[in-house]
A = this chain, B = another copy of it.
Amino acid sequence: MTVENLSSNKSFGGWNKQYSHQSTSLNCAMRFAIYLPPQASNGQKVPVLYWLSGLTCSDENFMHKAGAQRLAAELGMAIVAPDTSPRGRDVADDEGYDLGQGAGFYVNATQAPWNKHYQMYDYIVHELPALIESMFPVTDKRSIAGHSMGGHGALVIALRNSAAYQSVSAYSPISNPINCPWGKKAFTAYLGRDTSVWSDYDASTLMRNASEGNGLSFVPALVSQGEADDFLVEQLKPEMLQAAAKASGYPLVLESHEGYDHSYFFIASFMEQHLKFHAEYLKSN
C-alpha cells in the first residue's frame, strides 16, 4: 500500500496534511486531508471526526473554510476530510455538477458505468477508517459529520453503523434524497430504477425505522439548517427528518437558524457547537 504525503501545513500547533493513496474500494487514486491536533504530536492518541463534504467539493474546502482546526486543537480531535467521489480520467463522469466526479453521494453504485469506481459507502465506512487507524496516532473512537450531500452521507452512515460512531452531525443535509431532485437523479444513475433499494441510503427512512436494543443505541444526532438556504424546500427537506425522528423516538436535535444560507459562512458560524457536541461523545466513551 503506497500512501503519498502531498502537503503539510502547521495549523494551530498541529498539522494539516494531504495524502494520496490507491483505494481498493474505489479502484483509483484518492486524496484525503487530515488535521492532527498538537496532542497527536505529543504521544497521545486522539479520536477522529470524519467530515463528508457536499457537491463539487474536494478534500480541501472544509479544511480551508470551516475554521475547524482551532477547535480541533483545543479539543484534541483529529479531523479527516475525504474527497467526495472517485476521480480520474478513467472514472465515469457526467456533465452535471450533481452526478459523477465530485458527486459520489456516499453510496455503493450497482449500475454501469458507475459501479466500477463509485463505491463511496464502502470507502468511508471501511477502507478509510482502517487506513487512518493504521497510519496515525488515533483511537478507534469515530464520529461523523457533513454538509448537504455530505450531511446525507454522515446521517446514512451513522444510522446504518450505529456501533461504529459515537455521534453524528449534519449541516443542511439532503434529508430525504428519495424524494428530491438531487437524490432522484443520483440514485437512478447509481442504484437503478428499482426504487425499493434506494431507502438504504435515505436518512429519513432509516431514522424512521431506527430502534434501540439488542446492544445497539441511537447515535446522538445534531442537525443545523439555515432558513435562508436556497435549497431548503426543494432539495433538503429537514421536516421529513424531523417527522421520522418523532415517529421512532430518535433523539434528534434539529436547529433552524434565521438568515443563514447554504455556504461555508454558515458552516463556520456553528463549527464550535458541532465540534463540542462531538467531543462530548468522543471523550466520554
Q: Cβ of A269 < 8 Å from any Cβ of B?
A: yes
Which residue of B12, B70, B261 is within 8 Å of A10 (Cβ)?
B261
Closest to A68 in B: B67
Residue contact A70 to B268, C-beta cutoff 8 Å: yes
Residue contact B228 to A268, C-beta cutoff 8 Å: no
Residue contact A268 to B69, C-beta cutoff 8 Å: yes
What is the 8 Å Cβ interface bit string for chain A, positions 104-120, against chain B (1 contact, 0 not)?
00000000000000000
**How distant is A213 from chain B, measured CB to nearest CB, in Å?**
41
What is the 8 Å Cβ interface bit string for chain A, positions 1-42, against chain B (1 contact, 0 not)?
000000001111100100000000000000000000000000
Known: A10-B228, A10-B260. A265 touches B16 (CB 8 A): yes
Residue contact B265 to A10, C-beta cutoff 8 Å: yes
Q: Cβ of A264 < 8 Å from any Cβ of B?
A: yes
Q: Complex Cα distance A260/B272, Å? A: 24
Q: Which of A89-141 contact B (CB under 8 A)?
A: none
Q: Cβ of A263 < 8 Å from any Cβ of B?
A: yes
Residue contact B64 to A67, C-beta cutoff 8 Å: no
In the assembled complex, which residues on chain B have CB atoms less than 8 Å from the CB atom of A228?
Answer: 10
**How distant is A68 from chain B, measured CB to nearest CB, in Å?**
9
In the assembled complex, which residues on chain B have CB atoms less than 8 Å from the CB atom of A272?
Answer: 70
Closest to A262 in B: B9
Residue contact A11 to B67, C-beta cutoff 8 Å: no
Residue contact A11 to B269, C-beta cutoff 8 Å: yes
Q: Complex Cα distance A259/B13, Å? A: 9
- Beyond known contacts A11-B266, A16-B265, A64-B65: 7 more, CB 8 A cutoff: A9-B261, A10-B228, A12-B269, A67-B268, A69-B265, A69-B269, A70-B269
- Which A residues are within 8 Å of any B CB, using their own CB? 9-13, 16, 64-65, 67, 69-70, 226, 228, 259-261, 263-266, 268-269, 272
